[in-house]
């Protein structure tokens, strides 16, 4: 009896104690030890972005998104702008290896140039994330489009419009950018992977435009003179294909030639879809890539693993933009991101 | 003195064939005949117009360059002036000012840049190649830092009249080609019929002699670079109008070498003092035939560059054989 009363008393005391503790917890909240560790681990880290060049929609977009997170999580974010020069980029990368930032975000001019330096940087303990243009060296992470997939989608769209009996002819032109860039080599593989299954499609022209809209315009002008019954065209980048599109439009063949291009989903590209200049615009969505980049940067900065020990990659989803879905969700302006 | 070297006496056929101009002319005619026979669709009115149109912007820029080269100068800052002044004009227009006002600001910027470069060369006595090379970087850097962030600037919406410059046709001929033609006539008149033109040849022939015989040497140099900057601006407007946008990245491209290719190929000697508008036209058309033919044949990018490089090299070699270096040109220094 005595014992049971004592037990009951004890239990009651416990209840009161737990109750009061719980009440206290409800009042002041609990410290999340992981949150503190998260911010502390990121505070003061150094991240450097090495783009192809600043000053165009893709790199300005990614940089804006990355800068925001850097500000929020208090790590430093710097940009080394080689202004389209592979030489300057190589030098920047070499000096970064001695500077030893915690992480470098690299945008490769082609699949070969930075390959060895990226391996060296990782060996020196710098974590490397590649963005949208891959190098032959796989690093801690790659975030970006799967160019082969873009090529396949573009080629498939053209096959659907220009297969036997579907268009005015089965003639297709391809406008590439710079022959050694990842966007070119992998995309062309994807394009021909599909086209080889459709031998009726004739590629009548495959020319490099060096990303220059005026060159793209004059090439398409010549191709249309040569093949007035051209049915489809695949361009490799929206910035250059404004030229391709204006050649098609000025020849009065906008309803005949089905033009597919790809890009980051900038509003300028979207406007061209709305105007009917681009018939299909495959977007790799720069704001989304920026967010994934941010997640990867945080993940790698938090991780204790040494640079290069764990290699992953993520091909982000692509959006096919046509006249029907040009909208706020799919298109962005730089001011939206800032 | 301009009479003899400018070759205003009709050259005899034998002389012509042996001159660089003659060689390029015959190669151009040969290429033209060959392409016409072998490439179906080359010799059509549509394709020939496309050919002319694709090189006429290059031709316009080459006219400005030729003017400077004849006076024994060189202007490698033309592309920088072109992209920065036009891009800035578009940025101003996009921020709410009228396009007309913005274009005027762009023109003034180009003009000021030309005058400053000219002053640097005329009064600072900096060799033209270094002055313009450095000025090009300065202009481009200024533009990218202060005037615009994005390299690609679209023509501000709602100005269809502006797009007509590069996209419409007069009697079936693209306005771009017409502009090139009009500029050719104007420059021909300027060089062959005015004191300004004769003095330009005199400056190129013998700068020292021209100074002591009363040519206003320094003001002339300033005027020439201002003219080439304005020509660059005009070419930029036509370029922007025909593709609805201007891309500042052209500064990093090989375009300036293409302009030099046209000038040297046509037979305007880099040593200065000779060359006429017809040389620029010849160079422009030859490059046009070459590029158009290679595009139709669908030749690989790397090989196209190889062909262009070899042609430029041959042209320079022929230039130095036909216009051998003498005491005067070697004092000036080779480019």
The b-or-e profile of B16-51 (16+ CB within 10 A means b, else e) is eeebbbbbbbebbeeebeebbeeeeebeeebbbbbb
Q: Which chain A residues contact residue B50 at CB under 8 A?
A: 218, 221-222, 225
Q: Do B152 and A239 touch (CB under 8 A)?
A: yes
Q: What is the mean pLDDT of residues A34-42?
A: 90
* SS3 category, A262: strand
Q: What is the pLDDT along chain B (335 residues), one digit of tens a residue?
A: 444 444 445 556 666 656 777 888 888 899 999 999 988 888 888 889 888 988 999 999 999 999 999 999 999 999 999 999 999 999 999 888 999 999 999 999 999 999 999 999 999 999 999 999 999 999 999 998 899 888 888 888 788 888 888 778 888 888 899 999 999 999 999 999 999 999 999 999 888 898 898 889 999 999 999 999 999 999 999 999 888 888 888 888 888 888 988 998 888 878 888 889 999 999 999 989 988 898 888 888 888 888 888 887 887 787 777 767 665 555 544 44
Residues of chain A with pLDDT > 90, as a percent, come to 70
Distance CA B187, CA B179 (A): 12
Q: Do A226 and B296 touch (CB under 8 A)?
A: yes
| pTM, entire model | 0.82
* pLDDT at position A284: 95
Q: Are strands B169-170 and A280-283 parallel, antiparallel or unpaired?
A: unpaired
When scoring A214, A243, A245, A249 by the number of chain B Cβ atoms within 10 A, the one with the most, hence best to mutate, is A214
Nearest residue, CB atoms, A207 vs list B144, B248, B295? B295
Residue A265: which region, alpha, beta or left (left: phi > 0; alpha: psi -120 to 50)?
left
* pLDDT at position B301: 80
Beta strands in B24-168 (DSSP E): 152-154
Q: How far apart are the first and last CA of chain A?
A: 73
Mean pLDDT of all residues in chain A? 91
Nearest residue, CB atoms, B46 vs list A53, A54, A225? A225
Closest CA–CA distance from residue B285 to any residue of chain A (Å)? 15
Distance CA B126, CA B225 (A): 14
Q: Which two tokens stand for residue A97?
A: 């290896």
Q: Do B245 and A213 touch (CB under 8 A)?
A: yes
Nearest residue, CB atoms, A222 vs list B50, B239, B250? B50
Q: Do B152 and A57 touch (CB under 8 A)?
A: yes
When scoring B172, B295, B307 by the number of chain A Cβ atoms within 10 A, the one with the most, hence best to mutate, is B295
Q: Which chain B residues contact residue A226 at CB under 8 A?
A: 41, 47, 296
Burial of B282 (0-12, 13-18, 19+ CB in 10 A): buried
In whole angstroms, how far apart are CA B148 and each of A168, A185, B159?
43, 32, 20
Nearest residue, CB atoms, B243 vs list A205, A208, A242? A242
Integer-rounded Cα Rg, in Å, for chain A is: 27
- How would DSSP label each residue in B8-55? -SPPPHHHHHHSHHHHHHHHHHHHHHHHHHHSTTTSSHHHHHHHHHHH
Q: Which among B73, B79, B104 has a CA at the least distance from the CA of B275?
A: B73
User: Does the pLDDT of residue A26 top 80, yes or no?
Assistant: no
Q: Which two tokens stand for residue B162?
A: 């502006």
User: Does the pLDDT of residue A206 top 70, yes or no?
Assistant: yes
Closest CA–CA distance from residue B127 to any residue of chain A (Å)? 26
Q: Do B50 and A179 touch (CB under 8 A)?
A: no
Distance CA A67, CA A63 (A): 6
> Phi then psi for A289, rounded to 5 degrees?
-60, -40
Distance CA B293, CA A97 (A): 47
Q: What is the mean pLDDT of residues A18-47?
A: 81
Closest CA–CA distance from residue A21 to any residue of chain B (Å)? 57
Query: What sign results for the dihedral spanned by CA atoms B215, B220, B221, B222?
Result: positive
Q: Which chain B residues contact residue A60 at CB under 8 A?
A: 149-150
Q: Which two tokens stand for residue A327?
A: 């909208």
Q: Does A335 touch chain B (CB under 8 A)?
A: no
Give the residues across from A144 on adjacent strands. Answer: A315
- How would DSSP label each residue in A107-174? --SSSSTTHHHHHHHHHTT-EEEEESS--SS--SEEEE--HHHHHHHHHHHHHHHHSTTTSS-SEEEE
- Count contacts between A and B (CB, < 8 Å): 88
* pLDDT at position B50: 86
Q: Which two tokens stand for residue B298?
A: 């669908």
Distance CA A108, CA A102 (A): 19
For residue A84, give the chain B residue with the closest CA. Answer: B252
CA A61 to chain centre: 10
- How would DSSP label each residue in B208-251? HHHHHTT--HHHHHHHHHHHHHHHHHHHHHHHHHHHTEEEGGGG
For residue B157, give the chain A residue with the closest CA. Answer: A271
Q: Do B41 and A226 touch (CB under 8 A)?
A: yes
Give the residues across from A12 on adjacent strands. Answer: none
Which DSSP helix (H) or strand (E) runs through A217? Answer: helix A213-226
User: Does the pLDDT of residue A1 top 60, yes or no?
Assistant: no
Q: Do A55 and B239 touch (CB under 8 A)?
A: no
* pLDDT at position B224: 96
Q: Do B301 and A208 touch (CB under 8 A)?
A: yes
* Lowest mean pLDDT across A108-122, A309-323, B185-199, B303-317: B303-317
For residue A209, give the chain B residue with the closest CA. Answer: B301
Nearest residue, CB atoms, B245 vs list A85, A207, A242? A242
Q: Which two tokens stand for residue A284?
A: 């790799």
Q: Which among B272, B279, B256 has a CA at the least distance from the CA of B331?
A: B272
* pLDDT at position B269: 79
Which DSSP helix (H) or strand (E) runs through A213? Answer: helix A213-226
* pLDDT at position B318: 78
Distance CA B216, CA A146 (A): 63
Integer-rounded Cα Rg, in Å, for chain B is: 20
Closest CA–CA distance from residue B80 to any residue of chain A (Å)? 14
The b-or-e profile of B142-177 (16+ CB within 10 A means b, else e) is ebbeebbebbbbbbbeeeeebbebbbeeeeeebbbb
Taking only the tens place, the pLDDT of each residue in A56-102 is 899 999 999 999 999 999 999 999 999 888 999 999 999 999 999 99
Nearest residue, CB atoms, B247 vs list A176, A208, A213? A213
Closest CA–CA distance from residue B230 to any residue of chain A (Å)? 20
Go through chain A and tell me how many residues it has: 338
Q: Do B302 and A53 touch (CB under 8 A)?
A: no
Place of tokens 């010849």: B282
Q: Do B253 and A208 touch (CB under 8 A)?
A: no
User: Does the pLDDT of residue A219 top 60, yes or no?
Assistant: yes
């Amino acid at each position: 009896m005595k014992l049971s009363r004592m037990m009951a008393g004890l239990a009651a005391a416990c209840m009161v104690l737990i109750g009061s503790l719980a009440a206290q917890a409800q009042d002041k909240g609990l410290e999340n030890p992981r949150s503190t560790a998260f911010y502390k681990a990121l505070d003061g880290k150094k991240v450097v972005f090495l783009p192809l060049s600043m000053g165009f929609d893709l790199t300005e977009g990614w940089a804006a998104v990355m800068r925001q997170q850097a500000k929020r999580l208090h790590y430093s974010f710097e940009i080394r702008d080689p202004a389209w020069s592979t030489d300057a980029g190589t030098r920047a990368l070499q000096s970064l290896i001695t500077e030893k930032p915690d992480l470098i975000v690299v945008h490769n001019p082609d699949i070969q140039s930075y390959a060895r330096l990226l391996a060296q940087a990782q060996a020196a303990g710098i974590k490397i994330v590649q963005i949208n243009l891959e190098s032959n060296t796989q690093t801690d992470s790659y975030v970006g489009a799967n160019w082969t997939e873009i090529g396949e989608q573009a080629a498939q769209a053209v096959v659907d419009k220009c297969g036997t009996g579907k268009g005015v002819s089965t003639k297709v032109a391809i406008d590439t950018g710079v022959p050694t860039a990842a966007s070119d080599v992998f995309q062309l593989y994807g394009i021909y992977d599909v086209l080889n299954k459709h031998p009726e499609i004739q590629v009548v022209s495959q020319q490099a435009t060096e990303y220059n809209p005026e060159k793209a315009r004059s090439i398409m002008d010549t191709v249309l003179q040569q093949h007035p019954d051209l049915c489809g065209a695949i361009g490799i980048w929206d910035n250059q294909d404004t030229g391709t599109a204006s050649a098609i439009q000025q020849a009065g063949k906008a309803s005949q030639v089905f033009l597919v291009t790809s890009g980051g989903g900038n509003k300028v590209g979207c406007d061209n879809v709305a105007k009917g200049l681009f018939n299909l615009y495959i977007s790799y969505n720069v704001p989304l890539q920026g967010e994934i980049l941010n997640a990867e940067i945080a993940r790698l900065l938090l991780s204790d693993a040494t640079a290069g020990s764990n290699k992953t990659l993520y091909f982000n989803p692509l959006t096919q933009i046509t006249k029907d879905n040009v909208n706020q969700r799919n298109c962005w302006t730089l001011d939206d991101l800032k | 003195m301009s009479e003899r070297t400018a070759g205003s006496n009709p050259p005899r056929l034998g002389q012509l064939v042996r001159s660089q101009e003659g060689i390029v002319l015959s190669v151009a005619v040969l290429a033209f005949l060959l392409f016409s026979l072998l490439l179906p669709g080359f010799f059509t009115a549509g394709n020939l117009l496309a050919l002319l149109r694709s090189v006429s912007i290059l031709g316009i820029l080459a006219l400005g360059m030729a003017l400077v080269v004849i006076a024994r100068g060189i202007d490698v800052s033309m592309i920088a002036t072109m992209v920065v002044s036009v891009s800035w004009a578009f940025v101003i227009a996009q921020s709410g000012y009228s396009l007309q006002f913005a274009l005027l600001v762009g023109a003034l910027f180009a003009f000021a840049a030309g005058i400053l470069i000219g002053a640097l060369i005329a009064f600072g006595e900096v060799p033209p190649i270094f002055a313009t090379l450095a000025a090009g970087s300065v202009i481009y850097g200024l533009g990218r830092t202060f005037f615009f962030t994005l390299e690609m600037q679209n023509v501000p919406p709602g100005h269809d009249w502006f797009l007509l410059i590069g996209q419409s046709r007069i009697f079936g001929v693209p306005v771009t080609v017409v502009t090139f033609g009009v500029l050719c006539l104007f420059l021909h008149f300027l060089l062959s019929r005015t004191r300004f033109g004769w003095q330009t040849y005199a400056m190129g022939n013998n700068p020292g002699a021209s100074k002591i015989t009363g040519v206003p040497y320094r003001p002339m140099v300033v005027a020439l670079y201002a003219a080439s900057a304005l020509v660059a601006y005009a070419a930029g407007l036509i370029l922007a109008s025909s593709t609805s946008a201007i891309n500042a990245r052209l500064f990093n491209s090989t375009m300036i070498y293409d302009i030099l290719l046209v000038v040297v190929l046509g037979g305007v000697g880099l040593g200065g003092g000779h060359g006429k508008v017809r040389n620029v036209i010849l160079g422009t058309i030859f490059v046009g035939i070459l590029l158009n033919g290679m595009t139709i044949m669908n030749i690989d990018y790397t090989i196209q560059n190889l062909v262009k490089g070899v042609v430029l090299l041959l042209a320079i070699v022929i230039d130095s054989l036909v216009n051998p270096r003498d005491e005067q040109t070697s004092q000036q220094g080779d480019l």
